[in-house]
Amino acid sequence: MTWMGTAASGNLLWTTDDSDLFNLGKLVGDVVGLAESTIVSGIQGTAVEAAVPSLNQILKFDGSKWALATDATANHNLLSSDHPDTSPIDVSRGALIYGSGVSPAWHALPLGTAEFVLYSDGTDIVYVRLGAVTPFSLGTSSAPSMTFTGDLDTGWSAASPDVMVGSAGGDSLLTLNGIQDSIELNGAQIVKSSGVAVSTTVIASQYLILATANNITVTLPGAPITDQILVVKDRDGLATPAAPITINGNGNTIDGNSFIRIRRAYGSFTLYYNGTTWNVI
């Protein structure tokens, strides 16, 4: 066996048979280390990150080196940083994903407050209470063209199946401003009634006053609304000439009288305010 050359630090000995030994230089290029513990330090001359990989990671070129990255095909959040056009986020139940048009391209819209609806502001979608900025606002002419006297509509809600309720602050009157000022009812008409057993003063929200006792006085509103209609009825048939139900005009006359009386059992009066006085109709 013959030694070939001068040994240097890091060199290896290499032979093809038992006759000769050759001087082989140390490992260079894409591998480093000793023959017994070779480490791949690059691929095609590009360095490989030396960190220890974890589950579902792969090598990905980051522009300067081969770096560790999560496999894009592995399970991950839709809006996670593993998508280059999104940002990390945990999407909660009820949230919506919508396009932002900017980076990140996708955003999560959190679940809205109860009884709010989705509304377009012309750029994005937002949650608003029905009536806040929608066509139900005061003075808005777009469909469905409805306003409330004196106050903004504060919202519509389902009180029960097939029953829709709207509130408008202190004045709950619906004003129709179209060519056909009428309401078409495709079912039974249901009106608000108030049973009274003692003398009482009618408030603006009352319409049908049902007296359940005699010898009481029903006082009409002191500042009635023009075109307002009220009905006063002896519900239980207790009125008699000696024990009537009195309807007091409260400063406004009723067909020229300061008061009128229901003197017969089950009697009633339907009253209309014309802006100056009450009329029996």
Number of helices and strands in the chain (H, E): 0, 26
Give tens-digit pLDDT for 173-202: 555 555 666 777 777 787 888 999 999 999
Domains of the chain and CATH, by start: 2-40 (no CATH), 193-280 (2.60.120.640)
- Give the pLDDT band of residue 147 (cuts 50, 70, 90): very low
Is pLDDT at 80 greater than 60 in this prediction? yes
Interval 48-74 mean pLDDT: 85
Is pLDDT at 234 greater than 60 in this prediction? yes
Token pair of 168 as six digits: 């408008």
- Is the four-CA dihedral 97, 98, 99, 102 of positive or negative sign? negative
Is pLDDT at 121 greater than 60 in this prediction? yes
Q: Say what the pLDDT of residue 90 is.
A: 65
Give the span between the Cα atoms of 258 and 56, in whole angstroms. 90
Is the pLDDT higher at 142 or at 75? Answer: 75
Is the pLDDT higher at 154 or at 43? Answer: 43
Reduced to 3 states, what is the DSSP secondary structure of residue 173? coil
Residue 49's CB: how many other CB atoms inside 10 A? 14
Q: Following DSSP, what letter does each residue of 150-169 receive, concatenated?
A: TS----EEEEETTEEEE--T
Q: Say what the pLDDT of residue 142 is.
A: 41
Q: Say what the pLDDT of residue 131 is.
A: 55
- Give the pLDDT band of residue 100 (cuts 50, 70, 90): confident
Reduced to 3 states, what is the DSSP secondary structure of residue 35? helix
Is pLDDT at 213 greater than 90 in this prediction? yes
CB of 79 within 8 A of CB of 86?
yes
